[in-house]
Structure 1
């Protein structure tokens, strides 16, 4: 098992049978090794496809591309690594974002941020700053800046 709790052998078996791999995950702070190595990519079927929306080190062979030059081959695998793809279809992506986030927004509107943060780990883990303070440990670690626990910041808050 690796740091994410995934079985790399099982993942490798799935990878070499796949025609398309889509990565949407970012590495955790402090993780320096790619989850999918160059060697693993080299074992994929020739002309298979990697779509890396995150493009930040999960797949060793990924690097950012642009709409002007969106693809490249590496290890005989076609790579497409254009970041921020939702911006290409703003109306659709906005509708999808609202469908996804709407219930959380309504929960905060109806119950207040303090109560929701205390009772909903999903909301708590999505807040990066509050009252001018970093309250998400990964943001603090990634930017080498001090951070405080969100519950502590809410208790200290006068709002």
Structure 2
């Protein structure tokens, strides 16, 4: 089984999600006892952005799951890699509306997906928002920003930022 490394109920859940399209049916055996960590793994393991979004929405709809910044960050990455900008913007609006605080990894992920998606202006926007909120970039975010400048051949900006 390709998910055996996770142990616990994760392999069985992921297998059920591959076999069964109806989420109520797929999650039936585990519905009320999926942990936040398991939710994160389930979302990360989805190969198709539509399925990940469908599962994310299902978790929210059920009401017994608390969606946290990590779950939103996973979905930002999923939607960004798929270049689903409208869905990504909707997700960002939802985070702000629901008071989910953006953390370092949120900004790093936004900067990374927009930059890799060819919309460097949006990546720069999120760097500006991060600065305005007085959030110091961690090592990972710092690396993402430096790489963005290097890719744009703006070596002085990369050095200044670093």
TM > 0.5: no
Q: Which has the higher strand share?
A: 1
For the pair shown, the structure with the greater C-alpha radius of gyration is 1
User: What TM-score, normalized to structure 2?
Assistant: 0.29
Query: Normalising by the residue count of structure 1, what TM-score does the alignment of the two structures yield?
Result: 0.30
